[in-house]
Structure 1
Amino acid sequence: MKSTTASESTSLETGENEMETNKKSIHVFSEIGELQTVLLKRPGREIENLTPDIMERLLFDDIPHLPVIQKEHDKFAETLRENGVEVLYLEKLSAEAIDASDTKESFVETMLNESGISSKNVYKALKDYLLSMETLDMVEKIMAGVRKNEVEVDSNHLADISDRHQYPFYMDPMPNLYFTRDPGASMGNGMTINNMTYQARKRETLFLETIMKHHPRFKDGGTEIWRDRNVTTHMEGGDELVLTDKVLAVGISQRTEAKAVEDLAIELFERGASFEKVLAIKIPNVRAMMHLDTVFTMIDHNKFTIHPGILELDGSIDTYILEQSDQPGKVKITHETDLSEVLKNALGVEDIELIQCGGGDAIAAPREQWNDGSNTLAIAPGVVVTYDRNYVSNALLREKGVKVIEVESSELSRGRGGPRCMSMPLVRKDLN
């Protein structure tokens, strides 16, 4: 019988690990492992349904030009494909999941209920209107929003008649959907499906829930749901970072509550997930730094981008290390302020390099932070996708030995999110 060499043994183990990875619908045990499958949402008519009167309420600071933002997003997707990444689309998966499970009517009813349709006449008209469409067209119409001049409502009630001449929508558009990172987060072989903070984004998670429950690719894929959209505390995927198979970082931010972070840690520990530590990092509660990944992302084994604005004058930042407690339903919490030391200890590395957005320059740093200079998407260790407009930060990353792949961003950046915000990794290769 032929003996197996060390190199052959390693090769066999690697092959077995990759086969096991491929069996899982969700497999994300790091921020930097080679990206294999990602979920995107191509910007659609929901962008054209933004107006100056409603854009603030829908969490936008500007109105992107649809043909250009679609061109830029298509190039972003193509860049990922060119680097070996399988690209899936939220709208297509949602339609496939609805058709596969014969849940079209119940999906529409849930969406109408969550859209605040109080009039029975409007509810019926909208339901009939949406159900008359092919499923993909229906999904895209719900995402785009339904204008009042698109639906004929048979009603003589004063409330229905007078309402037609006021606010233009029966169902609000969902322009934030192209930021697929936030409605949920892949971690390990599971996912959080989030209760989002602002009303403008709460309905988004119904698409993700539908995919995970009903799509043939995901419903039998062994996916753990760590949190569902019905929990009471708020969390968003931009605050959830999978540093290693043992360590998570979660931001306490404008959109993720401290209680939600603690609840997630307890759930992971009690359900036997691989994660042993959750680093809760407190960032300023301001629009410009809405999520942890807008100010802090992992780009290599010991390298991170960081916005200098989240650090205090002495370079400290409140960080809470959550670990499993001997008492059920509780966690052990340790408070630290030296983020570099916390990361070194948690990751088991000798040194940590925090690469400051805009090089820490008083002008370049806040300008490029506004355009998500710290929001990088790692597609492999030391390989990141960034916006081309953040040239100071990109040049500094290259000086630090990072391979930078730039994508055009004149319109994509108007939504206040970068390449990491626009992508939800579903499968990454494990790190060696």
Structure 2
Amino acid sequence: MTSPIHVTSEIGKLNVVMLKRPGVEVENFTPEMMPRLLFDDIPYLPIAQKEHDNFADTLRDNEVEVLYLEKLAAEALDAGGPEVKATFLNQMLTESGYAAGVLHGVLKDYLSSMSTQDMVVKIMGGVRKNELDFIPRDLVSAAEEQDYPFFMDPMPNLYFTRDPAASIGDGLSINHMTFPARQRESLFMETIIEHHPRFANQGLNVWRDRHHTTRIEGGDELVLSPQVLAIGVSERTSANAIEDIAQNLFTKGSTFEKVIAIKIPHNHAMMHLDTVFTMINHDQFTVHPGILGEGGYIDTWTITQGNDGELHLQHDTDLKQVLKNALNLDDLDLIPTGGGDPLIADREQWNDGSNTLAIAPGVVVTYNRNYVSNRVLREHGLKVLEVLSSELSRGRGGPRCMSMPLVREDI
């Protein structure tokens, strides 16, 4: 494989992954800001970094090359040169609410005075008002937002690298995310793909770019096989975005022939499909019982392209049968979070017991705190690699959320 992005399954041996080590952004906010920034708590940074390093080391110990978003972004900007750096900064300021004006110029001068790496880290960490010798002259800043501490908000969700973009085949989606707190994040990936020497001009397909109004996030995008993609209809991904990416995959030369849309509850606890459902082996999946209705049913739509070029939808409610048909399996093993116990399942799903990262068929990385789910996985024959999880889990994301696979071996 020569493509810098190649992902044709959820379970092929993981060769290259992109992470974001938690930085000052995960502590650089107050309790009052938590709803705005989509957090339920403020992680303790030194322990979160220790846990994340444990996660990265676990991947390296299993022959995975680990790349870091913050480093790739700075390298891409340096490779692009001054004009690319200026364009990136203008766009970042625009998306931060400063398309023009005096404050746009002040922030641009402040950030441009830094090294590229320091600038990237500062943007990710947020720009506080007390960092600049500047007194706002406009009425909104002076009268309505005078007590708000930031000119540019921090991006504490960045360590969940799964969501701003998703590797699909020999390409990716660069996503328009749902909430303003996260919408700037995918600009980093767009810059990397366009300008980093490892990715630029390598024939990568962008199946859907970030310049849309409809929402989609990588936690809802699961590559089940070279022909089948599953996408959650969720709080963070809309049905029209799924139809759009399906149409692009079918008409722009991908290997994908089916997109299975799976409707999950639209709430914070189950924000993405991978928080309730992941593929961990050829014929094994984790599933949170809470997404299944009476009789174990859930709404799914299998999307294909007809001879007329139009999208065709087949509605079903038997998830197990839909997966067996799509993957040509005689049977499969749906492994319930928490062993199916309602109390344990809800607790461990809240702490990402369903959010497993497969690094090879039947080999998964999980949070150590979900000990019941981990025991059940082992009972089903899985090799479970546990990583530390007291602080990272406060962000409501697990090992799959914290990783963007770039290259997997074919199976």
Deviation digits for residues 46-70 of structure 1, max 9, x if unmatched? 0121210111111000110000000
- Tell me the secondary structure at the aligned position of residue 269 of structure 2: helix
Partner of 1:360: 340
Match of 1:82 among 57, 61, 74: 61
| CA apart distance, 1:107 | 1.0
Match of 1:133 among 111, 114, 121: 114
Partner of 1:16: none
- Tell me the secondary structure at the aligned position of residue 393 of structure 2: helix
Match of 1:72 among 32, 51, 56: 51
Identity of aligned residues (%): 63
Deviation digits for residues 253-277 of structure 1, max 9, x if unmatched? 0010011111111110111210111
Match of 2:214 among 209, 233, 244: 233
Partner of 2:200: 219
Match of 1:316 among 297, 304, 311: 297
Match of 1:335 among 315, 328, 342: 315
- Tell me the secondary structure at the aligned position of residue 279 of structure 1: strand
Take 2:128 and 2:148, find their aligned partners in 1: how far apart are those partners?
9
Take 1:158 and 1:227, find their aligned partners in 2: how far apart are those partners?
39
- Tell me the secondary structure at the aligned position of residue 196 of structure 1: coil
Take 2:408 and 2:208, find their aligned partners in 1: how far apart are those partners?
21
What TM-score results when the alignment is normalised by the length of structure 1?
A: 0.93
1:93 maps to a residue whose letter is L
Aligned residues: 409
| CA apart distance, 1:159 | 5.2
Is 1:375 equivalent to 2:355 in the alignment? yes
Contact 1:148 1:164 in 2 (8 A): no
Deviation digits for residues 172-222 of structure 1, max 9, x if unmatched? 000000000000100000100000010110000000000000000001222
Residues 157 and 237 (structure 1), Cα distance of their counterparts in 2 relative to 1, 3 Å cut: closer
Take 2:72 and 2:407, find their aligned partners in 1: how far apart are those partners?
16
Match of 1:279 among 222, 243, 260: 260
Partner of 1:8: none
User: What stretches of structure 1 move > 6 A for 4+ residues in a row?
Assistant: none
Partner of 1:424: 404
What TM-score results when the alignment is normalised by the length of structure 2?
A: 0.97
| CA apart distance, 1:324 | 1.0
Deviation digits for residues 138-187 of structure 1, max 9, x if unmatched? 00000000000001126655655556741100000000000000001000
- Tell me the secondary structure at the aligned position of residue 295 of structure 2: coil
1:297 maps to a residue whose letter is T
Deviation digits for residues 48-99 of structure 1, max 9, x if unmatched? 2121011111100011000000010011001100000000000000000001
| CA apart distance, 1:128 | 0.5
Whose Rg is larger? 1
1:198 maps to a residue whose letter is F
Deviation digits for residues 343-395 of structure 1, max 9, x if unmatched? 11111111110000001102100000000000000000000000000000000
Match of 2:245 among 253, 264, 269: 264
Contact 2:193 2:199 in 1 (8 A): yes
Contact 2:94 2:100 in 1 (8 A): no
Residues 152 and 283 (structure 1), Cα distance of their counterparts in 2 relative to 1, 3 Å cut: same
Contact 1:28 1:426 in 2 (8 A): yes
2:218 maps to a residue whose letter is G
Q: Which structure 2 residue ranges, 5 or more long, are not aligned?
A: none
| CA apart distance, 1:106 | 1.3
1:301 maps to a residue whose letter is H
- Tell me the secondary structure at the aligned position of residue 254 of structure 2: coil
Partner of 1:396: 376
Take 1:229 and 1:159, find their aligned partners in 2: how far apart are those partners?
29
| CA apart distance, 1:397 | 0.2
| CA apart distance, 1:34 | 0.1
Match of 1:97 among 66, 70, 76: 76
2:49 maps to a residue whose letter is Q
Take 1:154 and 1:184, find their aligned partners in 2: how far apart are those partners?
37
Contact 1:65 1:411 in 2 (8 A): yes
Take 1:290 and 1:347, find their aligned partners in 2: how far apart are those partners?
25
> RMSD over aligned Cα, in angstroms?
1.2
Residues 341 and 156 (structure 1), Cα distance of their counterparts in 2 relative to 1, 3 Å cut: closer
1:308 maps to a residue whose letter is P
Residues 251 and 159 (structure 1), Cα distance of their counterparts in 2 relative to 1, 3 Å cut: closer
| CA apart distance, 1:406 | 0.1
Q: Which structure 1 residue ranges, 5 or more long, are not aligned?
A: 1-20
2:191 maps to a residue whose letter is T
Match of 1:33 among 6, 9, 12: 12
Take 1:332 and 1:160, find their aligned partners in 2: how far apart are those partners?
50
Q: What pairs with 1:163-178 in structure 2 (closer than 5 Å)?
A: 165-178=146-159
Contact 2:265 2:291 in 1 (8 A): yes
Take 2:57 and 2:286, find their aligned partners in 1: how far apart are those partners?
24
Deviation digits for residues 286-343 of structure 1, max 9, x if unmatched? 1110000000000000000000000002100101000112223x21110011111111
Is 1:192 equivalent to 2:173 in the alignment? yes
| CA apart distance, 1:232 | 2.2
- Tell me the secondary structure at the aligned position of residue 57 of structure 1: helix
Take 1:108 and 1:114, find their aligned partners in 2: how far apart are those partners?
10
Contact 2:162 2:400 in 1 (8 A): yes
Residues 165 and 390 (structure 1), Cα distance of their counterparts in 2 relative to 1, 3 Å cut: same
- Tell me the secondary structure at the aligned position of residue 98 of structure 1: helix
Residues 156 and 252 (structure 1), Cα distance of their counterparts in 2 relative to 1, 3 Å cut: closer
